[in-house]
Structure 1
Amino acid sequence: MAVGARSGHDEPEERPERPAESSVAMRDDSGDGPDADPADGAGRDGRDGENGEADGAPKKPRSFWKELPLLIGIALLLALLIKTFLVQAFSIPSDSMMNTLQRGDRVLVDKLTPWFGSEPERGEVVVFHDPGGWLEGEPTPDPNVLQEFLSFIGLMPSAEEKDLIKRVIAVGGDTVSCKEGGKVVLNGKALDETSYIAPGSSPCGDKPFGPITIPDGSIWVMGDNRQNSLDSRYHQNLAGGGTVPNDQVVGRAVFVAWPVTRWSTLPVPETFDQPGLSQALAVAPGAAGLAGALPLVLWRRKRLTSRHTAE
């Protein structure tokens, strides 16, 4: 009987109880007891993550040197986007635009408006790619790798050796000419160019031309230093007859940014706003409208005549 009671139904052996003081102490230390305040800490050890910081405490900011590569990357990306879509700096390599622009000036070129369909207008100073043969025989710049990179992202003026800068004198549909000793005549109107051509320059220089009608989608350009500018006048033997296709235009030069002593805008001279200058272009749509309306008028007249005859 004693053996059976011990093996099945006898009371279990008594084990020593843990001291009450120890149990209370553990609950108090852990903050995990029934009276614990959740606001006092989320973790059992009152720590947060790997840093061992108290829950809710502000995290330590990252080191400046760890943030620097990210800041540089963002700055380079923004510079590239601005250069590609908004504005780009160009350096003036020659004296062909004196006195409006001096050799070594840095100009800012608006590249945004062409994205919205804007085309070059009379009187604007524009930067354009060599349409073919204009810079033949000219010395080619040899920038180093750093200059090419900074130029690519827009932090230095363009290192592209095939860019030129001139003033737009005529656009597609215009007729332009200049006789020796005379003024440039645009659509029958003489231009007063004294405000922008170099002092001592004559409007034609040593190269009278025209009259020339500019093809649609092209422009006729001339430098402000007429005696020292290989512009449209000197390339009439090339494809396009000296004109520049609009799709070769990079953008309009709008501001002289360097040196600071020459800060200035590049507005369109008033002579290009004179009344009647665009008259030739205004007549063409009107004539086209008349030609289109004439068949309709004749058809309607014939129909009315037939109706009256039938009655």
Structure 2
Amino acid sequence: MTAILGNEKALDIPRGPVTATVIVMGQGDEDVVLTAHAIDAGTTVRSPRPTTVQLIDITGHVELGVEPRAGGVFAPGTLLLLTLRGTEGTEVRLPELDVAGRGPRTLVAIDVCDERTLAVAAVNPRGERPLPPLAAAARSEGRARLGVDQTEQTVHLAVLVDLSASMRLALADGRVAAALDVIAGLSHVIGEGRELTAWLGLAEPIAVPASEARLLAGATVEEAARHGSGIGFRAAPRRSLAASPSVTYIVTDGVPADLADLPISGPDTHHLVLTGDGFAAPAGLPASTLPATGGRSAVDHLLTTPGALAELVASMLAAVPIAAHPAVTRTVDGDH
């Protein structure tokens, strides 16, 4: 009998020995270690190989998890399939799980119900929040760069998109959308991971209606088209765009005229995301460049050009005050 372990409740299986095996889809098994943590000292745990755990005498709470063998986070494209086999031909499977860019995590908990029954439950029943391909790749790259699923302390993220007439091409060819997708992905590592504050920049900022991170690029570009371009862009508006501590990413095609008004230190920092490679940010102000791609999709360029996304993500993390501070991996992360 095979049962799929869902999100709603635990499954009961006959009490007895349990063998757990993890299969790594599309990657080598040598990159993954299956772990077991038994609360009760009476439980016998054996690991004949890195991807297999045998629980001989389960006398109390046991948690099964996975971790990258080399430490840090799992490689891009890592998909796991966990199977538990018990007595009387029982088999329990956890739905295929994408752990790319994630650190060690607990997957399943086993508890003793009575003399005849064990209860098996998913610890992380909900998977990753869905993101567009580039945002998901940026999320994985950010986790790999920091070595954690999500930083212990989050910062508030805001995006200010320059609506000057010179930005029309970057809006039309997808470079602005690509930058927004990367920021959306990073928000799941360093930010709130749910909503981002997006603004359109003219003389005064115009708020983009709140949306989930996965919808950020589309909502912002659509709102920009509705308002059209203008003059008088201010990179340092008179009003605060995010709660403190914060990082405001300014997507523009040149160095703003009011650059001197931007704070570059303290709890609230700014970071230029330049959509052209003909400008250089002044010393002291973090900046990233998303160069023109000669008509090629900026999303495709970042996803397929070796090192392009890694370089962009590394530079975009430079503005984050907590990036250099200790962080933790969240193994029970709800819906992040």
Q: TM-score, normalised by structure 2?
A: 0.22
Greater strand share, 1 or 2? 2
Greater helix share, 1 or 2? 1
Q: TM-score, normalised by structure 1?
A: 0.23
